[in-house]
Structure 1
Amino acid sequence: MTEYLYKHIAVAYCDAINSDQCKRIAKKWQLDYIGDAAAANKQPQLQFLLQLNQQALELLKLDEPKLGGVKVDFVEGAVAHRRKFGGGRGQDIAKAIGLKHGFTPHVLDATAGLGRDAFVLAGLGCQVTLMERMPIVAALLDDGIERAKLNSEVSEIANRMTLVHASSIKNMNLAQQVDVVYLDPMYPHREKSAAVKKEMRVFQSLVGEDLDADALLEPALALAKYRVVVKRPSYAPPLNNIKPSTSIKMKKNRFDVYVKRAIPKV
């Protein structure tokens, strides 16, 4: 996170009862605290706002209020639907990771983002370490995981998720030995901006593209015991232009799988 972006983001509450919690969030992620979210309108230098709204932390792009807030929600909405009806171990991501023969790997999601794929894998029984380098994204993810731990329906899944706020490129080698490394770096969308879903519009304006994404593959291959899985748009070249062992193709995306050794049969 650059100093420029720090100056253009603040933490606020929608209800004063959450003021102490907001102060803790601001201190943890080294962001400015402005109190009432309504005060953001009086600070034209602010471009983004992390606000606590009904106990959930959400990110607002202040010059596009119609987009609404971006938050991590592992309990309701699309994530809940995928958990209940997504197809279990028959999903493409499960096949790519190697969930078969009773093998349930420890996965490092080295580009965690909003944690949706990590939550799917944790829901299928994997221990998942989530590494996210951007403080704002990590703050949203941390909030979502902690709220999920308080929900009886998904607490067991959330407890299999461990967040590490660090750059994967610089710190992946410090992670404990993992079975599979999963990578999903941000890639520029071909669609016009209005067609890109709000999370991507907000994040691309906040953090830009992962221009150093190619540098992820080498440390991932060094760390993973069995394989590295890279999620790519169907039109994108392989990461670092290195051909994968195999690919699982979907409508808009694919999983490039780099095999180091065979998945053990249990």
Structure 2
Amino acid sequence: MSAAIHPTAIVEDGATLGEGVSVGPFCRVGADVTLGDGAVLESHVVVEGHTTIGARTRIHPFACLGGPPQDLKFDGSPTRLVVGADCTIREAVTMHRGTPQGGGETRVGDRCFILAYAHVAHDNHIGNNVVLTNTAMLGGHVTIGDFAIVGGGAGIHQFVRIGAYAFVGGLAAVEHDVIPYGMAIGNRADLAGLNLVGLKRRGFSREAIHTLRRAYRELFEGEGTLAARADAVEARHGESPQVREVLDFVRSAGKRSIMTPAARSAATAASGASD
């Protein structure tokens, strides 16, 4: 089945369209774009630059994908945007290509749900099954793990990491890395516990959740440095894959410090990544 292109759409020479692609009224598809099998551009959609859209991804009106990064240092290099399969991208979403300094690629995984007016900046790496709610704003070089949810109007600082299954509340301003399974709420956002609702919805066992809760309390409410507490948590709960994921995240080197609960001092929160 060949692609269906509306008479008012513009598909530039060189674009690659898979089987069953639908390009609706007043869309524009650039010469370096690849649309996977069954991809749908509803109407008034712009896809430009070196951009690949995965199979069966549906893009709603006025979304603009593959534009140049909003970075004053950008020199026009042929960087990329890669969007996975089976995603839903709603009205007026913007996604920008990467920069040479950030690896040259912005990547969005499979089965992501990107709601209206959300912004995916240059060099973002977004996992699978991620939800970005209306007007969520991601700065450059942000990393988001699988199944994470970012609430409406939330702003994510550049270089922040958000772990898998984490939840960021609506209107949160996130300056620090959010651990996997964590829940970040507030302006400026603090760690507000674990994303228990998300864990239950995703079928984590009662035992796994209880172990993760004990590890969370010991990691963030105990005495000593974060590094020492992490070692103690590993000794007690290291057999849990979820706890291991949190510890690996905390120990890995990010450009932003680890977000901590509000009860801890601002000085401790600021030094969390280097403890």
TM-score, normalised relative to structure 2: 0.28
TM-score, normalised relative to structure 1: 0.29
Q: Relative to total residues, which structure has the larger helix share, 1 or 2?
A: 1
Q: Which has the higher contact order (CA 8 A, sep 6+)?
A: 1
